[in-house]
Chains A and B, each alone.
Chain A
Amino acid sequence: MHILLALVTGILFAGGLYLMLRRSIVKLAFGLALIAQAANLAIFTSSGLVRGEPPIIEAGGMRLAAVSSDPVPQALILTAIVIGFALLAFVIVLIKRAAWIVGTDDLDDLRNVDRTAT
C-alpha cells in the first residue's frame, strides 16, 4: 500500500508539473490543483499507514493500543485541503480575469511587463 501511494504521489507531482509547463493558462490551474493534492498524499503516506486501528482508547483502558493510526497527519491534510481549495478558487478567478484582460490564454504571451522598455 505504501508503494502504491508513493507511486500515485509521484505521478500526481509529475503530471501537475507537466501541465504547468504547458502554455495554456487553464492547464496551469489544473497543474496547481494536482501538485497540491500530491503534497497532501505525500503527508498521508510518509507518516505511516495503519489500517483499522482508530486512535481511540477502549472503554476502561488508559492508553492507546500499541499500534494505532496517527490523527495528526489527517488534521494537517484537512487544513491543507481547505487552504488549497481557497487558493485554487482564487487562482481560477485570477486566470479567468487575466485571460480576459490580456486577451490570450497562452502563457508565452504574458510578457508585456517583462520588456525593459515599456
Chain B
Amino acid sequence: MLILLPILVPLLTAIVLVGCWTRPSVQRIIALGSSCVQLAVAALLLHQTSTGRIVTIAIGAWPPPFGIVLVADILSALMITVTGVVSVAVMVYSMSGIDANREAHGYYPLLSTLLTGVNGAFLTADIFNLYVWFELLLISSFVLTALGGGKGQLEGAVKYVTLNLIASVVFLTATGVLYGIAGTLSMGDLAARIPAIQHREILGMVAVLYLVAFGIKAAMFPLYMWLPASYHTLPAPVGALFSGLLTKVGVYAFYRMFTLVFPAMDFGMTTLILVISGFTMLVGVLGAAVQYEFRRLLSFHIVSQIGYLLFALGVGTPLALAGGIFYTIHNIIAKANLYLIAGVAARLGGSYDIRKLGGLFSAAPWLGILFLVPALSLAGVPPLSGFWAKLAVIRAGLEREHYLLGAVALITSLLTLFSMSKVWSEVFWKQRDSNPETDADPAQRPIAYQVAPIALLAAITLTLGLFAEPLFALVSDAARQLLDPSAYVDAVLRRAP
C-alpha cells in the first residue's frame, strides 16, 4: 500500500488544487504540505527497501505478468526520496519565488501532476506504463514551459515540445516492436524472456531505439539541443525542478532498461554508450564556457553532467553503477540548488546576465557562501558530494582501462571549475558598474522563503560529502540489485502477498 502513495498523494493533491483554483495562497500551503507528505512516504519506502527487500504491488490484483506491477527497489526508493527533497525545496521557494500570474494559472496543480509522473516512472515495472508516466510528466512540463511565457519562453517551448514528442514516438515504436517479438510488457517478464529470443538483430534495433528515446529525454550528445534552447527561459523554481528531475528520469530509464531488459554487454552497446558519454561531457562543458546567461550556462552543465552518468553505465561494474547512482543523487540536489540561486541572484541584481550582475558578495555574502557549496560540489572539489561521486565513477573507469575517458572526465571537471569560477567572479566578486534595476515591487514576498530551500539543499550537499559512507553503502547495494536482477524479476513475477 505504501508504494502507491508516492503516486496517489501528488495526484490527489493536483485534483484538490484544481478545486481551489482561485486561491493561490491556499494552493501554496496545500502543495507544500503534499510535498512534505511525499518526502515522508518516500523516506519510509527507502527505509523498507534499504535492507534489500523489494516492495511490490500488482495494480488491480491482476496476476503478473498480465497486469501492471509497481516495484520499489533501492534505486527506485532513492530516486523518489530525492524527488521528495527537491519538490519540498521548490515548493518553499515558490512561496515567494514565482509570480502571481503563473500562480493564478495552474502553477501548483501542474507541479503536482509533474511529480505524479516522475514518481510513477520511478516505480513502474511495466514498459508501456513507463511510457504513460513519461507522457504525464511531459505534458505537465509542456504546459509549465509555456505558462506565462513571453516571446523567448514560447520559442523555447516549441523546441522543447517538438523534440520531446519525437522521443515519445520513438519510445512508443520501440515498445510496440518489443511487444511484437517478446509478447510481454512487464520488465521482469521481459528480462526473463529476452535471453531466449532468437531475433537478436531486431532486439538490437529495439535497444537502439530505446537509446535514442531515453537519450533525447536525458539530453545526451548529440540529441541534447532542446535543453539549452529552452531551460534558460524558465522561471527559477521551474528550471530547478526540470533540471534536477526530468533529465534524470531519462537517466533512470537508461539504468533500468540497460541493466534489466537489455544488459548493455549483450547488445554491443557498451562502446556506443562510452563514446557518447565522452562527447556529452565535453560538448556540454565547452558549451557552458561561452555562455553569459546564468540559466543557460547551467543548462549546458546539465548536459555535461549527464555524460558522467552514461560513462558510469557504460563501464557497468558494481563500483561504476554505485558511483553513477551516487552521482545522480548529488547532481539532482546540486543542480536544482544552482537554479534556485540563479533566481535569487536575479532578484537581487535584476538580471540573469552575469555580465550585468556584480558585487553580490558585498550585498549578500550569505548567498556567495551558499553558491560555493553546490558550485564546488558540481566541479568535484573535496570534501563535497560531487568529489566522491566523481572519484567512484572515474576510478571504476580506470579499473576497466578506459584511460581516455577518465582523462576526458577529469578535464571536464576542471572546465566545470573554470565555469563556476567565472560565475563567481562575474556575479559575486567584480564591482558593479551600474546600479541594479531591481523591481522594487511592494507586493514582493519575503526573500527568506527563497533562501531557506537553498540553505537546505546546500546542507544536504555538505552532509553527503562529509558523511558519504552510509549513502555509498546504500548505492552499492542498489548497484548490486541492478547487476543481478534476479531478485527484481522474482519480485515482479511472483508477487509477495
Which residues of B in the span 289-321 have a Cβ within 8 Å of any Cβ on A? 290-293
A-B CB contact pairs (8 Å), 13 listed: A32-B165, A46-B180, A47-B180, A73-B176, A76-B175, A79-B128, A86-B139, A87-B138, A87-B165, A110-B159, A113-B232, A116-B293, A118-B353
- Whether A47 pairs with B155 at a CB distance below 8 angstroms is no
Interface of A with B (CB < 8 Å)?
20, 25, 28, 32, 35-36, 38-40, 42-44, 46-48, 72-73, 76, 79-80, 83, 86-87, 90-91, 94-95, 97-98, 101-102, 107, 110-114, 116-118
Q: How far is the CA of A83 from the CA of B300 in the complex (A)?
A: 31
Asked if B329 CB lies within 8 Å of chain A CBs, one says no
Among B138, B143, B154, B177, which residue has its beta carbon within 8 angstroms of that of A46?
Answer: B177
- Given known contacts A28-B162, A39-B169, A118-B293, is B155 in contact with A113 (CB within 8 Å)? yes
Binary contact readout B162-189 vs A (1 if CB under 8 angstroms, 0 otherwise): 1001101100110111011100010000
Which single residue of chain B is at the shortest CB-CB distance from A115? B293
- Whether B155 pairs with A110 at a CB distance below 8 angstroms is yes
- Whether A94 pairs with B176 at a CB distance below 8 angstroms is no
User: Within 8 Å CB of A101, what residues of B?
Assistant: 149-151, 154
User: Within 8 Å CB of B168, what residues of A?
Assistant: 87
Which residues of B in the span 10-68 have a Cβ within 8 Å of any Cβ on A? none
Asked if B229 CB lies within 8 Å of chain A CBs, one says yes
Which single residue of chain A is at the shortest CB-CB distance from B150? A101
Which single residue of chain A is at the shortest CB-CB distance from B352? A118
Binary contact readout B129-149 vs A (1 if CB under 8 angstroms, 0 otherwise): 001100100110011001001
Asked if B345 CB lies within 8 Å of chain A CBs, one says no
User: Within 8 Å CB of A35, what residues of B?
Assistant: 166, 169
Measured CB to CB, the closest approach of chain B to A117, in angstroms, equals 7
- Given known contacts A91-B161, A98-B154, A110-B155, is B139 in contact with A72 (CB within 8 Å)? no
Q: How far is the CA of A42 from the CA of B33 in the complex (A)?
A: 44
Measured CB to CB, the closest approach of chain B to A83, in angstroms, equals 5
- Whether B161 pairs with A76 at a CB distance below 8 angstroms is no
User: Within 8 Å CB of A98, what residues of B?
Assistant: 154-155, 157-158
Asked if B156 CB lies within 8 Å of chain A CBs, one says yes
- Whether B172 pairs with A72 at a CB distance below 8 angstroms is no
Measured CB to CB, the closest approach of chain B to A57, in angstroms, equals 16
Measured CB to CB, the closest approach of chain A to B101, in angstroms, equals 15
User: Within 8 Å CB of A110, what residues of B?
Assistant: 155, 158-159
| Most-contacted residue by chain A among B161, B166, B172, B353 (CB, 10 A) | B172
Asked if B152 CB lies within 8 Å of chain A CBs, one says yes
- Whether A47 pairs with B353 at a CB distance below 8 angstroms is no
User: Within 8 Å CB of B232, what residues of A?
Assistant: 113
User: Within 8 Å CB of B181, what residues of A?
Assistant: 46
- Whether B179 pairs with A91 at a CB distance below 8 angstroms is no
- Whether B150 pairs with A91 at a CB distance below 8 angstroms is no
Interface of B with A (CB < 8 Å)?
128, 131-132, 135, 138-139, 142-143, 146, 149-152, 154-159, 161-162, 165-166, 168-169, 172-173, 175-177, 179-181, 185, 229, 232-233, 290-293, 353
Measured CB to CB, the closest approach of chain B to A92, in angstroms, equals 11
- Whether A80 pairs with B146 at a CB distance below 8 angstroms is no
- Given known contacts A47-B179, A117-B292, is B166 in contact with A97 (CB within 8 Å)? no
User: Within 8 Å CB of B290, what residues of A?
Assistant: 116
User: Within 8 Å CB of A118, what residues of B?
Assistant: 293, 353
- Whether A94 pairs with B132 at a CB distance below 8 angstroms is no
Q: How far is the CA of A25 from the CA of B291 in the complex (A)?
A: 28
User: Within 8 Å CB of B172, what residues of A?
Assistant: 39-40, 43, 80
- Whether A94 pairs with B177 at a CB distance below 8 angstroms is no
- Whether A83 pairs with B177 at a CB distance below 8 angstroms is no
- Beyond the given A20-B166, A79-B132, A118-B293, please list 12 additional residue pairs across the A-B interface where CB-CB is below 8 A: A32-B162, A35-B166, A39-B169, A43-B173, A48-B180, A80-B131, A80-B172, A98-B155, A101-B151, A102-B155, A113-B152, A117-B292
Which single residue of chain A is at the shortest CB-CB distance from B351? A118
User: Within 8 Å CB of B292, what residues of A?
Assistant: 116-117
**Complex A-B, nearest 6 residue pairs according to Cβ-Cβ distance, in ascending order:** A43-B176, A46-B180, A98-B154, A113-B152, A47-B180, A39-B172
Q: How far is the CA of A98 from the CA of B146 in the complex (A)?
A: 9
User: Within 8 Å CB of B139, what residues of A?
Assistant: 86-87, 90
Which single residue of chain A is at the shortest CB-CB distance from B179? A47
Measured CB to CB, the closest approach of chain B to A11, in angstroms, equals 15
Which single residue of chain A is at the shortest CB-CB distance from B156? A113
- Whether B177 pairs with A42 at a CB distance below 8 angstroms is yes
Q: How far is the CA of A20 from the CA of B169 in the complex (A)?
A: 14
User: Within 8 Å CB of A72, what residues of B?
Assistant: 179, 185
Q: How far is the CA of A42 from the CA of B146 in the complex (A)?
A: 31
- Whether A76 pairs with B233 at a CB distance below 8 angstroms is no
Measured CB to CB, the closest approach of chain B to A97, in angstroms, equals 6
User: Within 8 Å CB of B143, what residues of A?
Assistant: 90
Which single residue of chain B is at the shortest CB-CB distance from A77? B176
Q: How far is the CA of A40 from the CA of B166 in the complex (A)?
A: 13
Q: How far is the CA of A79 from the CA of B158 in the complex (A)?
A: 24
- Whether B154 pairs with A97 at a CB distance below 8 angstroms is yes
Q: How far is the CA of A20 from the CA of B132 in the complex (A)?
A: 24
Q: How far is the CA of A114 from the CA of B231 in the complex (A)?
A: 11
User: Within 8 Å CB of A38, what residues of B?
Assistant: 169, 173
Q: How far is the CA of A83 from the CA of B135 in the complex (A)?
A: 7
Q: How far is the CA of A39 from the CA of B185 in the complex (A)?
A: 17
- Given known contacts A83-B135, A94-B158, A98-B157, is B151 in contact with A112 (CB within 8 Å)? yes
- Given known contacts A20-B162, A112-B152, A116-B290, is B146 in contact with A76 (CB within 8 Å)? no
User: Within 8 Å CB of B131, what residues of A?
Assistant: 80
Q: How far is the CA of A91 from the CA of B229 in the complex (A)?
A: 17
